[in-house]
Structures are given as C-alpha cells and as structure tokens.
Structure 1
C-alpha cells in the first residue's frame, strides 16, 4: 500500500497516512482488504507487473530519509563516545556521569547536544563543575527529552538564582525522579520553594540532599510542609545549614509523615537542647530509620539529660553519630540507658565529647550488648583509666569490629595491654587509629607481638602518629613485624609538629617491610630527619616502588624534594 506522510492540521505533528489503492481510472477502491488486494494484483499484471511511478519515488525518498537518520544517529553516537572518552568517562545510555570533569562552556554545549540522543537516560551527574553555574538553563530546557530521569546530581556547581529557578521548571518534566542532590550551592538558600514546588503528593523522590545550601528558616518551614507529600522519601540530608534549628518544629512535624525514612542527617544544623526534645517526639514515627546523624551541634549538649525514651524506639538503627555535641555528664548517664537497647547498631561515633572521660564507664561497659558493632569512634574524649578499662573489657564482645579510633586519649599510653585480648580476637579489624595516645615503647612492642602472631591480618590502616615517647628499640620491633600485615594500605608514624628527630637504624627495616606489602600506598613519616645514607636508601626505594606515596613532608621536603614521591 502506498504510504506517505502529512502534517496534522491541528497540532503540526508528522503522522503516517495510508492511501486507498486506486483503479485504472484513478477512483479509490473500497471494500474488504482481500478484494482490494486481488484487484491490485490484477492491475499490476495489466501494467506489466511494474509499480506506479509515484509509489516508487515515495519508497525511494523514505529509504533515503531512513538511511540519513541512521547516519546522523551513528555520527552523533560517535561524537558522544569521543566526548566521553575525552573526559575519561565511559558512555552509557542510561547514565551520564560527568562529575568533577572540569567542564568548559563548550563542554556544556556538547552535553546539551547529547541529551536528545539519550531518551533512556536515568542518571545525570554534573556535580563539581564550576562552569555549570549560569549555563544550566541550556540543559534544563532539554529535560523534557529525558523524562525517564531518576537521578539528578548538581552538587557544587556554583548555581545562580536563575539556575535554581530553571531547575524548578525542569523538575516538572521529570516525574520519575528518585534522587536530587543540590548540595554546596548557596543560591538554593532562600529559593527552595522555586526548586521543589513541583514535588506533589505521590512524588517518587527517595533521596533529597541539600547540604550546605544556606537554607533559611523559611526554607526549613517549607521542607516541613513538603515532607508529608514525599511518602517514598528514604534519605534526607540537611547538614551544614545553620538556620534549620530555627524551624525544627516544622521539620519534625513533617518527619512524622515520613514512615519510610531510613537516613536522617542534621549535621551542623544549629540544633539546641530544645531541638533534642523536638526530635524525640518524631522518633516514634521513624521505625525504619537506619542512620541518624546529629553531629557537630555544639549547643545540643544537655538535650539528652532526661531519659530519651523515644530514641530507644529506633530499633532498626544501625548508625548513630553524636560526635562533637558537647554531651554533658547527665547526657551520658541517660544515653547509658538507651544505646545498649539499639541491638542492631553497627556504627557509633561519640568522639570529641570531653565529658565522656569522667562519666562514660557505665556506658562503655554496656556496649557489650551491641554484638553487631563494626565501628567505634571514641577519639578525643579525654578518657580516664577507669573508662578505658571499661571499654577494654567490653570490646572483647565485638566479634564484628572493623574500625576503632582511640586517638587523642592519653590514658591509652602505657595501658595498651588492656586491649590485648581484643586485638587477638578482632579478626575483622581493618582500621586502628592510636594517634597522640602517649604510647610508650612497651605499647609498640606489644602491638608488634600481636601482629607477628597473625591476629591483625586484615588490618588496612594503622595510625601511630604523634607518639613521640617511643624509642628506637620499639620502632625496630614494630618495623620488623610490619610484613605480617599483608593487607596494609596506609601507615602513619609521623611526629608532632616541630618535634623533629633523627631516624634510627630501624628505618632500613621499614623500607624492607614496604617492599613486602602488596597493598601499601601511603606512608606518613613527617618530621623524621634522615642521614645522608638513609636519603640514598630512600632514593633507591622511590625508584623501585613507584606505586607508593612516601609523605616525609615538613621542613625536610623543601630541602630534599626527592623525599616526597608520587
């Protein structure tokens, strides 16, 4: 049948048209298709079985158009591939990841030209590209062509107010959106309703990240009103927005309607004592919460003094971050009643709370009821001998422990033997940080013995920096044990600033050990000075071990630039 195309008079769209066959007189036939086909065959025979000239021309034209389209598509695909390769990225139909690529204005033009050829695009990430700011409208105008988009990341793009408005308009054309990241764009602050006005009840958004966006208290109030519409929301990150605390009443009220929420981050949001109680009222509605981050809210101290019973209702909680919250002695006493009830807890960060040192022995001893604990960060808590002893006794009940940070707790020095059983039993330990713990030679010798027995075979990162009381004998014993850490990737034995000291004979043992560690990439050794012979040894080492970054740093780096090697 003769097939041509015409414009629909009502909307200008190109649509197919099927013409009825005509007889020899030019009159259109009617009737059942079979009879039409029979009559058409007879007409063809009469004409010597030759198709009509018009039909032949139309078929040739359509074939040429199809071939042209295929050639254009092939050319565009090739250009897309070349563009992606230039940026060191792999072109994927459903994912365009241009994160931190140093895009230029010309590159932005290339991105715009690519979008019409990516109708199945589900993920677009152009974060950490400063040149995006002021040009985003050229991309958002094409959003209607990628209506299947599920993930949009525009973090740290120096967005302008006009860009922010353009995003709000573009989101109306992306009904499938599940993740939006606008973090580190200060112009979002004060303009949040312009961005998120299209989010209506039934929105599919699951992850909303607005870190360091200079959000105002009015923006916070808007978030509180918006949350009940986001029934699928699983991750909400409002961190580093100091004014959120002023509108926390509204935010907390909205949180009561987000029963599917799994991650809530309010790091450095200006929360106060009152804020803790406001949030507690919302906790009983967040039964699916897995991660709660209230860290770096220095005015939060005292907010947990009354037993935070609602916190205990977060029975699925896996991560609790309360570092640098100025927790008081009474806060610690109250948390002692709650934290041990969070039986699914895997990560606990109580670091940089100085009052922990004199009041946390009961809390730390009761951590034995958290068998799933994988990460324990309790650095810079001014622990005392009794609290450290309580921690050491509880830690043998952590079979899954992978990360331990006890840095900046001076009481560890001379008492590392209290952790001996833990170090022997922690077969999963990957990260051990003991920086500035006043370790002595006996401590390092004990650690070396444990390493040689193979108890820390999974260790990947070991930080012994800023422990300046260890003599050469201790460092020699330690360096000779290092080859037993076959998975070690990072080692830091740097000294304190301005505390320079000559390397002993143990330096040769250290270099020899590094050649036997297949995973090692970083060696921190700042403020250790080398003799001429040791400098030569290091030169040879850096020539042979090109995959290792040896950070000698400090004043010596300027004098001996060869000592810092990439």
Structure 2
C-alpha cells in the first residue's frame, strides 16, 4: 500500500515538474505510469501540501486543466507539454465526463506509453465526439494500443492523428479498428509514413544484396556466373490496409492521407477500396507522389463511385498534362463534386485547357485550385471563357502561375459582367502594373467579387494607385483585399488612405499590406484613414502592415 502511494506521488511530481517554468522532463528516468491506475480527479484532491510541495502556479495550472475537462464542451490543451504522466493524470476525468465534446491533446509529448491512459476510459465515454492527438510521437505501438481501445468506443466521430510517426504497421492496426468501429466519420492520417511499396533483395551466398522499389513489373536478370540466387520480398502495404477497411466500413465520410508515401501502387490499392465504399464523401491525398499512372486508377474509381464524393484533393502529386485526361473525364461525369484541388502539379497550359473544357459540362464544382501548375495566359483565356456561362464556380485559385498581365486581362474582361466568382486568388502571378489596371477597371463593374488576393505581383506604387482610383466607385461586394509583398511605398499608401477617406461606404473590411516598404508616415496615413472611417460610419477596417 505504501509502495503504491509512493508511486502515485512520484508520477504527480513528474507532472508538476513538466509545468514549472524552466523545468524540463527527465527523459532518462525510464519510469512510466502503467495502464489501469484509477485516481480521483476532483479539483485539488491530489494536490495536498503533504503530497506535493510544488509552486502555487503549477497547482493552479493542474486545477485549471481538470476544470476545463469537466466543465467545457471544447477543451484546447494543445502544446501544454504535460507528457505521458500528465495524460495519465488527466485522462480518467474523461471516463465519466458529460461535458467535453471536443478535446485537443496535440503537441504534448505523448508517446505510446501515454496512450494506455485511455484504456478503460474511452470505452465508456459516449460524450466525446472529437479527439485530436496530432503532433505526438505515439508511433506504431501507440496506434496499436489506441486501435484496441477504440474498437469499443461508440462516441468519437472525428479522430485526428496527423504527424504521429506511424508507418504501415500502425496504419494496419487502425484499419482493422475501422472495420469494427461504426462511429468515426472523419479520420486524419496526414504527414505520417504510410506507404505502399515492394522491396526486392537478391542474395547469392550472402555476398550480394540489391534493393529496388518497383511498380507493377518485376524484371530479374541472373548475374554473370550466378547459378543460384534467392529472392526476398518486403511489402509495405499501409495503403492496402486502409483500402481493405474502406470495403468493410460504411460510416467513414472524410479521409485525410496528405503527406504520406502512397505512390502509384497506393493510389491503385486505394481505388479498389473507394469502389467498394458508399459512404466516403471527402478524399485528401495531397503530396503522395501518385503520378499519372496512379491518378488514372484513382479517377476511374471516383467516376464509378456509387456514393456522393464532394471533396477531392490531389495536389502535389507529380501529375503532368498526360495525366489530365482521366481527371477531365471525372470532372465531366461527377454530379456531386464541390471542391477540387490540383495545386502544385505540372499540368501546364495543355492540362489547364482540359480542365476548362471539362468545367463546361460540370454544374456542381464551386471551388477549384489550379495554383502552381505553370499555367500561362493562353490557358487562362480558356478558363475565362468557361466562366461566362458558369453560375456555380465561386472560388478560383490561380496563384503561383506566370499568367502575366495578358492572363489577368482575359479574366477581367469576363468578370466585369459575367460569372459568379466571389474569391479570386492571383498571388505570385507576375501581373505587374498593367494587370493592376485591368483589375481596377474590373472592380468598377463587378458585383460578386468579395475576396481578392494579389500578393507578390510587383505592383509597386503605380499599381496601388490604380487600385485606389477604383475605390472611388462604390463597390458593395469587395470586403477583403490582399496586397502583401508588392513593394508598395509611402506614395501608394497615401493613395490608398485617401481613397478610404474619400469613400467611406466602401465594403472593404480587411486590407493586408504586410511586407511592403512603408515608412511610419505611410502607416500613420493608413491608420488615420481607418480611424476616420470608423468615426464616420462605425465600420471597422482591419489593416495589416
């Protein structure tokens, strides 16, 4: 009994040590709280002076944590760095808690050992709907432990496990859990090490050892003079495990696998899971190196999917113009897609023109991101023509494309009187002063645009002055304008400030001018203009320098 009391005191002292300013956790102690320990967590009950002679601030923090978990619906404990011991100290309060619906434990130094604190807790908690464990190094072992626990949980609907250092074994364990768990709707696995690859080892008398990743075909050429050799295959099939789970789980709605290592094989495997699943609505695969081959299989599966896919993110996946044919076919066929991203691929003008053509037949997409695809004015003209008769698309992102002033002119000529675009992102598009003149002219007539991003376009003072002139015409729709990174100096600031003063009825409520070349004189002029508008209309304008 005395031994158990001493152990509890040791664990509690570790918790307090982690939260005292200047104190650091002793990683070398090797001692961890075992699972299954049940303590009472009434505020202050374990903080008697005889047990802990810690600073009052530390006790105050601990009591605050308990109170948050017991009384608030949304509890944000991100980055508190309470570690495994802290989680053991706090977790049991969730067992019978009827308040907390969203809990964020991200970035707290939790490892696989700490995950055991949820054992006996999450199985009986039906109130908690969202659990965020992102940014904790729980690894595959922690994922296995969590999976065993969540098999019996019926409350959690959103589980965030981004950047937790899991690989294929962890993905397999969580996938097996998904086959049995029927409550999770949103699952995030982004920025881990989940992959699908095959490694071959060729051994000859233990003197030869060659490794190579393969896609669909294996070619073996016997080495000269080698009569006997041995092949060893190493499979990493995290994506295959997830695909299998999709075949059996029909409650999952959103799946995030951004920043993993799926590759073409992973995409092909996942495609099979998508085909057999009817519940999936969102698939996020940004940054998986899928390539043209993988995208072909994935788009084929999405086209044949019997559910209602609304969101698809295939940004940063090494897709070239050759890979855009199946993408365009999917865009033509889908009757449910609302949000689509091809951000940071290399589709160029040829691919962008295919997308533009597909959008003519699409009546559902409201947001499309084509940023960072080496698109020029030629393809932008094709996109602009599509906008003339498109009443659905409201957000268009063309950032990081060298469309130049000609591309902007093509867009503005259409957007003056056509289209329903509300958010237009043209940052880093090399539009220059000529492009600014086109936009200023467009703003005099356009009645739908509310958010305009023109960052890093070399506008300078002349470009800012052009835009300021357009403010003289009352635009009742534009509320947010971003002119950051544009080398604007005081003259440009003065022009913008004067325009704000002269037209108090402008709808603009957010003006970003960060990372320009203002002196304090330009900043003062803009600040005075902001204050003037507030005094005259009681309307606030947020100006960022």
Identify whether the pair has TM-score above 0.5, normalized to the shorter chain.
yes
Match 1:482 to one of 500, 521, 525 = 500
Match 1:204 to one of 177, 183, 188 = 183
Match 2:301 to one of 282, 286, 295 = 282
**Offset, 1:343:** 2.1
TM-score normalised over the length of structure 1: 0.70
In structure 2, relative to structure 1, the CA distance for the partners of 1:76 and 1:89 (3 Å cut) is: closer
The answer to whether the 8 Å contact 1:357/1:381 transfers is no
Alignment partner, residue 168 of structure 1:
147
**Superposed counterparts of 1:326-337, under 5 Å:** 326-337=346-357
**Superposed counterparts of 1:354-369, under 5 Å:** 354-369=374-389
Alignment partner, residue 217 of structure 2:
none
Alignment partner, residue 86 of structure 1:
64
In structure 2, relative to structure 1, the CA distance for the partners of 1:206 and 1:507 (3 Å cut) is: closer
Q: How many residues in Structure 1 have an aligned counterpart in Structure 2?
A: 445
Structure 1 range deviating more: 235-244 or 327-336: 327-336
Consecutive unaligned residues of structure 2, counting only runs of 5 or more, are 1-38, 47-58, 197-236
Consecutive unaligned residues of structure 1, counting only runs of 5 or more, are 1-72, 496-500, 525-566
> Tell me, what secondary structure is at the counterpart of 2:42?
helix
The answer to whether the 8 Å contact 2:41/2:92 transfers is no
Alignment partner, residue 253 of structure 1:
272
The answer to whether the 8 Å contact 1:183/1:212 transfers is yes
1: CA distance, partners of 2:41 / 2:245: 44
CA deviations on 1:498-551 (whole Å, 9 max, x unpaired) are xxx674964542231243456455522xxxxxxxxxxxxxxxxxxxxxxxxxxx
The answer to whether the 8 Å contact 2:69/2:93 transfers is no
The answer to whether the 8 Å contact 2:310/2:339 transfers is yes
Alignment partner, residue 100 of structure 1:
78
**Offset, 1:186:** 1.2
CA deviations on 1:72-92 (whole Å, 9 max, x unpaired) are x99837879987872497456
Match 1:491 to one of 512, 528, 535 = 512
In structure 2, relative to structure 1, the CA distance for the partners of 1:293 and 1:232 (3 Å cut) is: same
Match 1:454 to one of 469, 474, 483 = 474
The answer to whether the 8 Å contact 1:412/1:439 transfers is yes
**Offset, 1:493:** 4.9
**Offset, 1:299:** 4.1
1: CA distance, partners of 2:127 / 2:518: 62
2: CA distance, partners of 1:101 / 1:502: 35
**Superposed counterparts of 1:308-319, under 5 Å:** 308-319=328-339
Alignment partner, residue 297 of structure 1:
317
2: CA distance, partners of 1:396 / 1:88: 56
The answer to whether the 8 Å contact 2:493/2:525 transfers is no
In structure 2, relative to structure 1, the CA distance for the partners of 1:212 and 1:471 (3 Å cut) is: closer
1: CA distance, partners of 2:378 / 2:350: 11
Alignment partner, residue 96 of structure 2:
117
Alignment partner, residue 399 of structure 2:
379
**Superposed counterparts of 1:213-232, under 5 Å:** 213-217=192-196, 218-232=237-251
In structure 2, relative to structure 1, the CA distance for the partners of 1:362 and 1:144 (3 Å cut) is: closer
Alignment partner, residue 76 of structure 1:
42
CA deviations on 1:20-52 (whole Å, 9 max, x unpaired) are xxxxxxxxxxxxxxxxxxxxxxxxxxxxxxxxx
TM-score normalised over the length of structure 2: 0.72
Alignment partner, residue 529 of structure 2:
513
**Offset, 1:183:** 1.1
Match 2:415 to one of 365, 370, 395 = 395
Q: Check if 1:153 corresponds to 2:132.
A: yes
Deviating runs (4+, > 6 A) in structure 1? 77-85
Alignment partner, residue 552 of structure 1:
none
Higher Cα Rg: structure 1 or 2? 1
The answer to whether the 8 Å contact 2:260/2:288 transfers is yes
Q: Superposition RMSD on alpha carbons, in Å?
A: 3.4
The answer to whether the 8 Å contact 2:106/2:135 transfers is yes
In structure 2, relative to structure 1, the CA distance for the partners of 1:215 and 1:103 (3 Å cut) is: same
Alignment partner, residue 216 of structure 2:
none
Structure 1 range deviating more: 171-180 or 88-97: 88-97
The answer to whether the 8 Å contact 1:243/1:270 transfers is yes
In structure 2, relative to structure 1, the CA distance for the partners of 1:356 and 1:341 (3 Å cut) is: farther
The answer to whether the 8 Å contact 1:213/1:241 transfers is yes
Alignment partner, residue 19 of structure 2:
none
In structure 2, relative to structure 1, the CA distance for the partners of 1:431 and 1:364 (3 Å cut) is: same
Alignment partner, residue 191 of structure 1:
170
2: CA distance, partners of 1:114 / 1:83: 16
1: CA distance, partners of 2:500 / 2:440: 18
> Tell me, what secondary structure is at the counterpart of 1:393?
helix
2: CA distance, partners of 1:445 / 1:189: 56
2: CA distance, partners of 1:406 / 1:301: 22
2: CA distance, partners of 1:425 / 1:259: 45
The answer to whether the 8 Å contact 1:466/1:494 transfers is yes
> Tell me, what secondary structure is at the counterpart of 2:324?
coil
Alignment partner, residue 342 of structure 1:
362
Structure 1 range deviating more: 221-230 or 435-444: 435-444
1: CA distance, partners of 2:349 / 2:98: 58
In structure 2, relative to structure 1, the CA distance for the partners of 1:290 and 1:324 (3 Å cut) is: same
2: CA distance, partners of 1:467 / 1:149: 46
> Tell me, what secondary structure is at the counterpart of 2:279?
coil
**Offset, 1:442:** 4.7
The answer to whether the 8 Å contact 2:469/2:499 transfers is yes
